[in-house]
Structure 1
Amino acid sequence: MSATIKICGLRDKDAIDAAINFGAKYLGFVCNYPKSPRNVSPYKLVEITNNLPDSIAYKVAVLVDPDDGLIDTIKNSVDFLQLHGSETDERILDIKRKFNLNIIKAIKIKTEADLKQIDSYTNADDLLLDTPAMEKSELFNFNLLDNTNISSYFLAGGINIDNVAQAIKFTSKLDISSGLESEPGVKDLEKLKFYERS
């Protein structure tokens, strides 16, 4: 199975260029969330993404419970919003109607019961299954996915060179962040070479 890769937590030109050269289809930028070591300000996000060619990859703003003012600031600089907060399906529809942006809704999965949330987000364009602590880079428990009946979703949660082969058995769409870092928030470009051989 060939993978569609989203590289998340990008903050600088070298890492972005490496992600593009690697062939990532989605470039993720954590925005306005100071708890994350990968955080960039809305204005930095706009500056970074406005210097990227439109056809290279989808630009994704990773947000937690954003208000309309924040979305309005970045709306012309990204293709997707990836929502990691308590956003309801109604809020997702509201955002889409107001701003005409694609939405990836992140669902925090700790137990098998959490998978029931999947059916609650019919207005999202895509889903991302992640561990509960967005900023702590916990490893996803792949065993929870054995009985999942959803056909297409992004999978995140500590995906790295040691578990990427297992992750791709469940979905072709992988979200990689901490697995490409030498320390929290610092992308290690050499690690991309290992993924290229995987």
Structure 2
Amino acid sequence: MNIKICGIRRNKDLLTCENAGADLIGFINIERSKRLVKTQKIKDLTSSMKDQEKAVLVIEPENMEDAQEKIEKTGLMKVQLHSLLAEDIIKLKMHYQTKNEPNKCIDPVKKYKSDLTVIRVIGLPKKINFQKIREIQDFTRVCDGLLFDSEIEGKTGGTGRQIPLETATEAAKIAKKCNPDLKLFLAGGMNKNRIENELKTLDNFFDFVDVNSGVEDEPGVKNMAKINDLMEIKVI
């Protein structure tokens, strides 16, 4: 099971995550978040990383231009989006299309090479309806990964609310049916106890678990012991 630890704001927490072996590390640049980090601070933090490929920029851009500006300012090429429509994601990926690839019309259903990795967040209700199925299918075709999080009043991220396992696995099946190569993440109040208790199912349906508040003393302040304890799951 791969582990992404999100909401990093301090150098000491970043170092702990790296030393503990976190597979991905998230930096949140969303104004409404209690774990907000400004773009310059993110650049300062990630510049010291041993492996910057593990860094994920978490944003909620108003439009494609806003997304591009944040990507350029931080220099991070893995981005987790809490907004943008599928057609905007296509345009964003085309902007960062691999330089040696021919400049041609891109069919969004087919894979193409881009220097930008896009993970789109999809909020899940307790039960999945037809509209949510269509949403999952639409983003599956244009993204490199989907992150399922709990949704409250149309907003995702920072809720601390867990998604029922049955709902999460149903969403994962829908996504994988459309694109078997898609990377799937599960967030929403994830902690060591839940991951351990549901490890077999999670490992069967998801590539990553996304942990934030589950390793914190308070928003944006990580607990070294909780991080190290969590990472023991990787060697079970």
- TM-score when scaled to structure 2? 0.74
Aligned match of 1:127: 146
- Partner deviation per Cα, 1:8-56 (whole Å, 9 max, x = no partner): 100111111111111112110001x221111101111112112223x36
Q: Does 1:185 align with 2:220?
A: yes
Residue 115 of structure 1: CA displacement?
Answer: 4.3
CA distance in 2, matches of 1:171, 1:70: 26
Q: Greater Rg, structure 1 or structure 2?
A: 2
Once the two structures are aligned, what percentage of the paired residues are identical? 26
Q: CA RMSD in A?
A: 2.0
Q: How does 1:110-189 map to 2 (within 5 A)?
A: 110=125, 111-113=127-129, 114-121=132-139, 122-132=141-151, 133-147=156-170, 148-149=172-173, 150-151=175-176, 152-165=183-196, 166=198, 168-169=202-203, 170-189=205-224
Q: Does 1:6 align with 2:4?
A: yes
* Aligned-partner SS, 1:40: coil
User: Greater helix percent: which structure?
Assistant: 2
Structure 1 gap ranges (5+): none
Aligned length: 193
CA distance in 2, matches of 1:182, 1:11: 13
- TM-score when scaled to structure 1? 0.88
Residue 57 of structure 1: CA displacement?
Answer: 4.4
CA distance in 2, matches of 1:52, 1:4: 19
* Aligned-partner SS, 1:36: coil
Residue 66 of structure 1: CA displacement?
Answer: 4.6
Structure 2 gap ranges (5+): 97-114, 177-182
2:27 and 2:56 in contact (8 A); partners too: yes
Aligned match of 2:60: 64
